[in-house]
């Protein structure tokens, strides 16, 4: 990221909508970026070169300047911005990006000491994407008052107008924040964290709005929200390791209409010169992932079998909340390590991308609600799933390409077919099989959905090179793979929990039967031999 | 069961539709039963007295006779016929019947030796309902040729016209069976098995048709099928320990239309003088359980969360196939003991009734397909779930009444409410909660269904006397129960897998928090103290 810095008189009114922009040109490429006021009489303009070479720039507005920067070839650890590529993700340099996400919602609002610990944890973790919020979070196990806020308060107001003891938002009877005055100290500190993540090769999945609030950030007017977005886009868009999440559980934010969301979505899409990925995360109601600005599906669901049907959007499917490994009283945070690992395997083999979170609390402590829970604040990772997610990642990253899901075992492929397609299939089958196919055709949508959601086996492939089948909780003594007749394959059995793999058979093609140990959490992977 | 027996000339033509009936009268009660030809010049009429006292009878048709029988009070082990009572089941004497079912499809077609072993297994099992077929079964792990068939063959034909090696049904090019000539030897042997079950207190969930066939029983004409039903109704209706299952996977039987099924359903309903329970079991397409003749829901689904929505019919919900405990290659028979036990708990706590099956095969044997698999043929029970099902049964049978399900934790109850109901609720809640409620209102049906199918906690109650909550795979360090404020309760923690229970707290009412061990398969049960 290149940064131009100028001294000039501080704005007399608002900090947003600064009249400062620059055009960066390299060959045919031309990108216009907007500058922002960074405090202390400093203005900045940020630019991310996505090709190697000499860029000329021309600054206009309250400052006029011209110059050149030379973009050197990136080292091996830098690949540019993650972008959607069909149902997968690639960085700007076309390197495949396989997100293995985790969640630290209030990472930006913790002490330096805790942040160091978090960074240490992330450094040895398998995670290369973190969901985190810009605004502080008020929720169970999320109560600490942050040191800094994205805006300064209105004159005469202080954040402790809103006390922890009182219900979220209910105490706010008059405006508290001056959204025209972002606090550069907050944004500097926030960016430090983004840079720390970047150094670890971690993409920040940045949550712009959320409902867990006692300060009033979730009930800003649309105009105030736009001022916030204006400043955030100017400051952050040139970071490479970013993707935008309009909200966490957008549908739970009081008072927001779909028109608000579409306005925010359009604003981000139009004002991010580098076109980072953009989605919106739900609680109950799904956002419309078919909208052109939306680059990927980012949903909350406990059900990995949804990945295949969400592929209808032709975009990457990120299961950005599927429950968390932990011991919480709440139903969202009580998965065993095996369950969390299981969901990663199911989502990954289906061609989607899964997101982790960790929620362990010691209810014997003096104040369980103030415990440092990784999913909320960071700190140590103590769960059992990250080692298994690392093992999965090591397998997936050695494949010759991204995994595509295959509708599961047995009858599942038929569940997607239209009545006409099924009738056509039935016409060429013996009567007993034709009857099965016709029965599927007679299923209502609800019935089909139930069949999908209770699918037990998960199948994926990389072209004809690799076929993977994951069995989850099912225990088989023997399994079947349906491989192409035209090649021969070596079949490995993978114990996804104990993290071992062994060759079970080689020279396999067509329908092959493989004896497997009678245990849960197994996968088999057939790799082409020549 | 009372039986009248007469000698008379054997029928010259068909055995069905014998002109023989009797009216049994006791006070205001009057029941007409039809007789049947039992072979060897013997005709029989069967009657099941459902009250104590003197019944007069009058036989007419090819035989005329009159007389009386005295129905003594039943001993403690006999309660009459299971009947639907709202969403629960009671025997004729109003004793509650809580089915804990298992599956031995081809029980009727195995050797005496194996049958003895099966009866021994059942005697020490928790099962009080068995699903079994009248016709022999041709399917994976179901290939033995039975000794007897329900009908005699047509002249010059033998059952080995159809050989095991050939595909099911495809070899049948001309009629093989004389449906006008049921084989009394088959029916005598079959009834012996029903009697053995009755002595164990086990209800036979009798499957009248099924698609797994190499003999042609599934492709009889409607008229032939009606002849079969005529004879079956005459012989079997007076057995107390019966319920009718029109079919297993009715929708997979080739060539059958819904009109056929409705004709069969009406025939059974009209020709069973004792009105046994009646349903029809599906593979893909659900039967219409709202039909007046249909007394209960009998479905195949792997998803226990469906129980609550199936309660809409106001009839008992029997999950008669949810996967089987075993190690099969096939996806229907690869549940761990924990998974099978888990489904029983989920279904039971939801107010439904679950059915077991066991499918272990030794793939190292010379012919895995000929192994004796309990679900197919009976024999020994070796799985781990039956002990847990017995434990569950012991708990449930000591409750003061049948369990009613409660839509699960958190938001689930809202998932059933109409938009209007939700709007009404939102109107009386603080803004943040109102937003949640409105968001549920905006969910499409598909979204709501997904939420239901991924519900993780299961709640049930017996009035205000008992509240049960089952956590399945979720691991909590502390749980919450929402008990009535008006009573005090003792709360027990039940380890459903290790089959232990211990009191965790007493004197509880309202919202109470209970510390629980951090393990899977726990339930908590709050029992009223006074």
> What gap in Å lies between CA B234 and CA B274, rounded to an integer?
11
Percentage, residues of chain B above pLDDT 70: 96
pLDDT tens for each residue of A353-363? 999 999 999 99
Name the residue facing A442 among B285, B331, B440 (closest C-beta): B285
**Count of beta carbons in the 10 Å neighbourhood of residue B171:** 15
Is A453 within 8 Å of B453 when comparing Cβ atoms? Answer: yes
Distance from CA of B111 to the nearest CA of A (A): 27
> In the predicted model, what is the mean pLDDT of residues B130-151?
94
**B451 contacts A284? CB cut-off 8 A:** yes
Task: State the average pLDDT over residues A266-271.
Answer: 98
CB contact under 8 A, B331 and A456: yes
CB contacts of B480 in chain A (<8 Å) are 329
Residues in B touching A324 (Cβ below 8 Å): none
* Predicted confidence band of residue B411 (pLDDT cuts 50, 70, 90): low
- Over the stretch B267-285, which tens digit does the pLDDT of each residue have? 999 999 999 999 999 999 9
Position A446 scores a pLDDT of 81
Of A268-277, A335-344, B363-372, give the lowest mean pLDDT range.
B363-372
Q: Is the pLDDT of residue A485 over 70?
A: yes
Q: Span A98-119, mean pLDDT?
A: 98
Q: Decide if B454 and A302 are in contact by the 8 Å CB cutoff.
A: yes
For A475, the closest of B327, B432, B476 (CB atoms) is B327
pLDDT at position B474 = 95
pLDDT at B162 (0 to 100): 58
Q: Specify the pLDDT at position B97.
A: 98
For residue A360, give the chain B residue with the closest CA: B477
* Of A157-166, A504-513, B150-159, B207-216, minimum mean pLDDT range: A157-166
* ipTM, 2 dp: 0.93
- Sort out which chain B residues have CB atoms less than 8 A from A336's CB and list them: 473, 475, 520
d(CA B37, CA B55) in angstroms, rounded, equals 23
- Please report the pLDDT score of residue A161 as a whole number: 60
Q: What angle do CA A373, A376, A379 make, to 5 degrees?
A: 55
- Contact list in A for residue B443 (CB cut-off 8 A) is 284-285
pLDDT tens digits for range A416-436 = 788 888 888 888 887 777 888
Q: Looking at beta carbons, which residues of chain A come within 8 Å of B361? A: 477
Among A99-103, A169-173, B116-120, B505-509, the minimum mean pLDDT is found in A169-173
Residue B450 and residue A453: Cβ atoms within 8 Å? yes
Q: Is B284–A439 a contact, with Cβ atoms under 8 angstroms apart?
A: yes
Average pLDDT on B55-84 reads 95
Q: Is B302 exposed, middle or buried (0-12, 13-18, 19+ CB in 10 A)?
A: buried
Instruction: Give DSSP secondary structure letters for A240-278.
Output: SSEEEEEESSGGGSTT--HHHHHHHHHHHHHH-TT---E
User: How far is residue B216's CA from residue B169's CA, in Å, rounded to a whole number?
Assistant: 6
Per-residue pLDDT band at A171 (split at 50, 70, 90)? low
Asked if residue A110 has pLDDT above 90, the reply is yes
Closest CA to B274 of B32, B78, B18, B45: B32
Is A208's pLDDT higher than 70?
yes
Within 10 A of A518 (CB to CB), how many other CB atoms are there?
15
Count CA atoms within 13 Å of residue A477 on its CB side.
Answer: 13
In angstroms, the CA B341 to CA B359 distance is: 15
Judge: A445–B447 Cβ closer than 8 Å, yes or no: no
State the pLDDT at residue B114. Answer: 98
User: pLDDT averaged over chain A?
Assistant: 93
Chain A neighbors of B475, CB-CB under 8 A: 326-327, 334-336
Confidence class of residue B91 from pLDDT cuts 50, 70 and 90? very high
CA A157 to chain centre: 36
Q: What string of H, E and C letters represents the secondary structure of B129-175? A: EEEEECCCCCECCECCCCCCCCEEECCCCCHHHCCCCCCCCCCCCCC
- Locate B111 and state its tokens: 């050797």
> Chain B interface, mutation test: which of A361, A439, A451, A497, most B Cβ atoms within 10 Å?
A439
Nearest chain B Cα distance for residue A217, angstroms: 13
Q: How far is A337 from chain B (nearest CA, A)?
A: 10
Say if residue B450's pLDDT is above 90.
no
A167, A252, A478 member nearest B363 (Cβ): A478
**Mean local confidence (pLDDT), A480-499:** 96
- The CA distance from A369 to A361, in Å, is 8
B23 HSE (CA, 13 A, CB side)? 8
Q: How close, in Å, is residue A163 to chain B by CA atoms?
A: 17
Mean pLDDT of chain B: 93
C-alpha span between B275 and B31 (Å, rounded):
11
Return d(Cα A315, Cα A96) in angstroms, integer: 15
Lowest-confidence pick of A173-187, A505-519, B287-301, B446-460:
B446-460
pLDDT of residue B388: 98
Task: Examine the pLDDT at A163 and tell me if it is beyond 60.
Answer: no
- Choose the mutation target among A432, A445, A456, A522 for the interface with B, i.e. most B CBs under 10 Å: A432
Category of B109 on φ-ψ map: left (φ > 0), alpha (ψ -120 to 50) or beta: alpha
Angle at B61 between CA B60 and CA B64, to 5 degrees: 45
Choose among A250, A253, A263, A266: nearest CA to A220. Answer: A253
Is A252's CB within 8 Å of B518's CB? no
Residue B155 banded pLDDT, cuts 50, 70, 90: confident
* Residue range A5-15, pLDDT digits in tens: 999 999 988 88
How many contacts (CB atoms, under 8 Å) link A and B?
174
Residue A393 has pLDDT above 90, yes or no: yes
Mutation target vs B (from A139, A284, A341, A512; most B CBs, 10 A cutoff): A284
| Cβ contact A476–B513 (<8 Å) | no
Looking at A164-173, B61-70, B461-470, B491-500, which range is the least confident one?
A164-173
Q: Do A450 and B447 touch (CB under 8 A)?
A: no
Interface test with B, best of A454, A458, A516, A524 (most B CBs within 10 A): A454
Q: Nearest CA to CA, how far is A251 from chain B (Å)?
A: 6
Give chain A positions within 8 Å (CB) of B328.
Answer: 476-477
Q: Which residue has the higher pLDDT, A161 or A323?
A: A323
Candidates B170, B255, B334; nearest CB to A474: B334
Which of the pair, A446 or A296, is modelled with greater confidence? A296
């Amino acid at each position: 990221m290149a940064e131009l810095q100028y001294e000039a008189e501080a704005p007399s009114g608002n900090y947003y909508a600064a009249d400062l922009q620059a055009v960066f040109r390299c060959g045919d490429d031309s990108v216009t970026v907007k500058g922002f006021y960074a405090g202390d009489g400093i203005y900045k303009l940020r630019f991310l070169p996505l090709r190697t070479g000499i860029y000329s720039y021309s600054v206009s507005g309250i400052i006029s300047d011209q110059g050149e920067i030379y973009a050197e070839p990136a080292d091996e650890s830098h690949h540019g911005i993650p972008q959607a590529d069909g149902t997968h993700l690639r960085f700007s340099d076309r390197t495949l990006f396989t997100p293995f996400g985790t969640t630290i919602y209030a990472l930006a609002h913790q002490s330096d000491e805790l942040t160091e610990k978090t960074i240490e944890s992330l450094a040895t973790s398998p995670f290369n994407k973190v969901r985190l919020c810009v605004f502080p979070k008020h929720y169970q196990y999320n109560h600490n008052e942050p040191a800094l806020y994205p805006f300064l308060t209105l004159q005469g107001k202080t954040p402790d107008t809103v006390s922890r003891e009182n219900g979220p938002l209910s105490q706010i009877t008059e405006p508290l924040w001056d959204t025209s005055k972002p606090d550069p100290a907050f944004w500097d500190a926030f960016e430090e964290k983004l840079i720390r993540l970047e150094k670890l090769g971690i993409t920040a999945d940045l949550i712009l709005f959320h409902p867990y609030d006692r300060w009033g950030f979730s009930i800003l007017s649309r105009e105030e929200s736009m001022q916030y977005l204006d400043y955030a886009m100017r400051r952050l868009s040139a970071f490479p390791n970013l993707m935008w999440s309009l909200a966490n559980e957008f549908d739970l934010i009081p008072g927001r209409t779909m028109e608000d969301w579409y306005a925010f979505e359009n604003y981000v899409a139009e004002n991010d010169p580098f076109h980072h990925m953009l989605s919106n995360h739900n609680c109950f109601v799904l956002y419309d992932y078919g909208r052109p600005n939306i680059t990927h599906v980012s949903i909350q669901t406990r059900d990995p079998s949804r990945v295949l049907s969400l592929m209808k959007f032709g975009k990457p499917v990120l299961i950005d909340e599927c429950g968390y490994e932990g011991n919480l009283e709440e139903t969202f945070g009580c998965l065993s390590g095996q369950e969390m690992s299981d969901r990663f395997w199911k989502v990954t083999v289906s061609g989607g991308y899964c997101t982790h979170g960790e929620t362990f609390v010691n209810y014997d402590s003096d104040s369980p609600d103030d415990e440092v829970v990784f999913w909320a604040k960071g700190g140590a990772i103590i769960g059992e799933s990250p080692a298994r997610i690392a093992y999965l990642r090591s397998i997936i990253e050695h494949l010759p390409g991204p995994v595509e899901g295959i509708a599961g075992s047995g009858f599942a492929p038929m569940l997607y077919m239209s009545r006409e397609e099924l009738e056509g299939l039935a016409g060429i089958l013996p009567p007993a099989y034709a009857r099965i196919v016709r029965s599927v055709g007679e299923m209502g949508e609800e019935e089909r959905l139930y069949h999908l959601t209770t699918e037990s086996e998960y199948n994926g492939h990389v072209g004809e090179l690799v076929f993977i089948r994951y069995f989850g909780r099912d225990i088989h003594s023997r399994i079947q793979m349906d491989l192409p007749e035209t090649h021969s394959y070596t079949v490995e059995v993978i114990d996804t929990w104990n993290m071992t793999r062994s060759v079970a058979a080689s020279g396999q093609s067509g329908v092959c039967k493989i004896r497997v140990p009678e245990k849960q959490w197994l996968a088999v992977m057939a790799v082409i031999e020549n």
